[in-house]
Amino acid sequence: MALGPCGALAAVVLLGACFKGPPMPAMDGAVMEVRRSDCSLRAGDEGYGDTVQIYWFGSGCHLIQLGDLRVLTDPFVTNGFQVFSNASDGERVKKSLGRISPPEAVLVNHAHFDHFLDAHAAMTLEEWREAEVPLWGGRTCKHLLAGWQTPGLMDRCHAIEKPGVIIDRRIGGGHLRVTAYASRHSPHFKCGLTLANGVVDQPRTTPPTLMTDFPSGEVFNYLIELRGGGKSYAVFYLGAFYDLKELPNSMPPAGTRIDVAILTAASHRNVPGYPGKHLQRLRPRHVVLNHFNTFMAEKPDEQLAILGKDFVKLGEMTRKVQEVFVRECEKYPEFEVIHIPAITRMEGKDLGRNVLRIE
Ligand SMILES: [Zn+2]
């Protein structure tokens, strides 16, 4: 049966629609490989002293470890949808962060609840308190923590007054150096709007409980340089990216050696040039994507969408990253791997599943 002109047109439109689906996961010039994830290396295991291990607990919460040197970023492990209050889940903190030996430092990118809600619970874990684990972040972080009025806690909280080197010291047989770069929170919407975008300029006298009690505050990205076991690594945590034309100093200068860049996927559509321009500057060997889970549900597989809507568009973000090293393969030969990790589950003391090992 002949289609006739209208039928032929409908067929063309239909075929056109079929070809408008999502692009291939891997771009021309790239390969995506999925492999079994690793478990933690622990003291005594081969490679323990000279392998960087990265645990990811969702949002911006990572443990970055080389041998016995440990740094934790953005303490937040509480999942679940909370409407009227934002309460830290103390049990969950104990079962995750509480199973990690005390880190040398806790570094906070900004004070929104999904980066900071569990800071008090983490800082007051018995072992962390005894080890006097210090925390660095903006003044807002310190003022929020003041609300609990916990004896001794303020002595361990350091408000970063100006960007630059905040830690530079030998620890055991290793060395840890941390440099803070002032940034601004990436907009939540394309129009440039950032939610809860303010500071706390006085110490609180009660613990924060509402989502609006956690404004973004001052924002810092961190270059974490770890040395030990005869090796050194530079890990850059870009928790808040911004237009580099406006904030060129929100990241290390071009030419700084970066082994691993941890890049935030959330809101990637809302900042001009991200992540392409940022990657061209950083030129890391490894890219680790984070903050693509919505943390509204407990099961990791239910954390990529809210009510079925994919807000983060991780596939698009991954292709944007691929584009840089495919397009710039001669100018950017350092590139090795993009890691899209599963959320780390702690199964014992210093023993996690879904841990990235980078050499
Ligand atoms: Zn935020």
Separation of 234 CA from ligand 1 center, angstroms?
Answer: 24
Q: How far is the CA of 35 from the centre of ligand 1 (A)?
A: 31
Q: Which pairing describes strands 174-183 and 219-228: parallel, antiparallel, or unpaired?
A: antiparallel
Could you tell me the pLDDT band of residue 1, with boundaries at 50, 70 and 90? very low
Distance from Cα 113 to the centre of ligand 1, integer Å: 8
Residue 84 pLDDT greater than 90, yes or no: no
Q: Whole domain around residue 166: which residue ranges? A: 26-358
| C-alpha–C-alpha distance, residues 141 and 199, integer Å | 9
Q: State the CATH number of the domain containing residue 214.
A: 3.60.15.10
pLDDT in tens, 165-187: 999 999 999 999 999 999 999 88
Q: Which residues pair with 170 in a beta bridge?
A: 175
Number of other CB atoms surrounding residue 327 within 10 Å: 14
The total domain count for the chain is 1
Q: How far is the CA of 75 from the centre of ligand 1 (A)?
A: 13
Determine, yes or no, domain membership for 9: no
> Does this model's pTM top 0.85?
yes
* Contact yes or no for 252/282 (Cβ under 8 A): yes
- Ligand 1 center from residue 215 Cα (angstroms): 8
CA–CA separation, 188 and 37 (whole Å): 31
Q: Is the residue at 21 inside a domain? A: no
Sign of CA dihedral 351, 39, 67, 236: negative
Judge whether 20 lies within some domain: no
Strand-pair partners of 190: none
Residue 13 forms part of a structural domain:
no
On whether the CB atoms of residues 275 and 332 are closer than 8 A, the answer is no
Helix, strand, or coil (residue 177): strand
In a domain? residue 288: yes
**What does the alpha-carbon distance between residue 341 and residue 201 come to, in Å, rounded to a whole number?**
36
Whole-number Å distance, alpha carbon 177 to ligand 1 midpoint, is 25
Q: How far is the CA of 198 from the centre of ligand 1 (A)?
A: 11
Upper half-sphere CA count for residue 122 (Cβ side, 13 Å): 32
In the chain, % of residues over pLDDT 70: 94
Q: How does pLDDT run across 187-241, given as a tens digit for each residue?
A: 888 777 888 889 999 999 999 999 899 999 999 999 999 999 899 999 999 999 9
Gap from CA of 223 to ligand 1 centroid (Å): 19
Q: What is the pLDDT of residues 305-323, one digit of tens each?
A: 887 888 889 999 999 999 9
Class of residue 39 by CB neighbours under 10 A (exposed 0-12, middle 13-18, buried 19+): middle
